[in-house]
Structure 1
């Protein structure tokens, strides 16, 4: 199961919900289409957050930030 999910909540609300449940967060990202992309550190933590925040899960495609990775020059 994936450790990532998209939620129709602010980044602050997502972080607070994870802290309340003692779930470790790998990273978060504010979505361009609204909401937050959450990646939990463990699959178990992700399952717990999916259970607790199931009414806020965004289904389908979302707009995310473009990620630029510079070419290795060595």
Structure 2
């Protein structure tokens, strides 16, 4: 199970949801196509966030900033 999730929500909304679930964020970035990409520290935390924000999950490819890409 992937720890990365693309959400159609603001960074603040994602941080608030993670805090309420007591899950730790490993990385978070705004998406050029709109929304937020978040990588959680554990797959269990990622699944909990997917359940909580299931209506906000973005399907398909998203446009990320080259600044945040792994080298």
Q: TM-score, normalised by structure 2?
A: 0.93
Report the equivalent of 2:11.
11
In the aligned structure 1, how far is the partner of 2:4 from the partner of 2:47? 10
Larger radius of gyration: 1
In the aligned structure 1, how far is the partner of 2:17 from the partner of 2:70? 30
Structure 1: state its 5+ residue gaps.
70-74
Q: Per the alignment, in what secondary structure is the counterpart of residue 19 of structure 1?
A: helix
Where do 4+ consecutive residues of structure 1 move more than 4 Å?
none
Structure 2: state its 5+ residue gaps.
none
Alpha-carbon shift at residue 68 of structure 1 (Å): 7.2
Q: Which has the higher helix share?
A: 2
- 1:24-46 CA distance string (max 9 Å, x none): 11010000000000100000000
Report the equivalent of 2:41.
41
Let me know the Cα RMSD of the aligned residues.
1.1
Q: TM-score, normalised by structure 1?
A: 0.89
Residue 56 to residue 68, structure 1, CA distance change in 2 (3 Å): closer
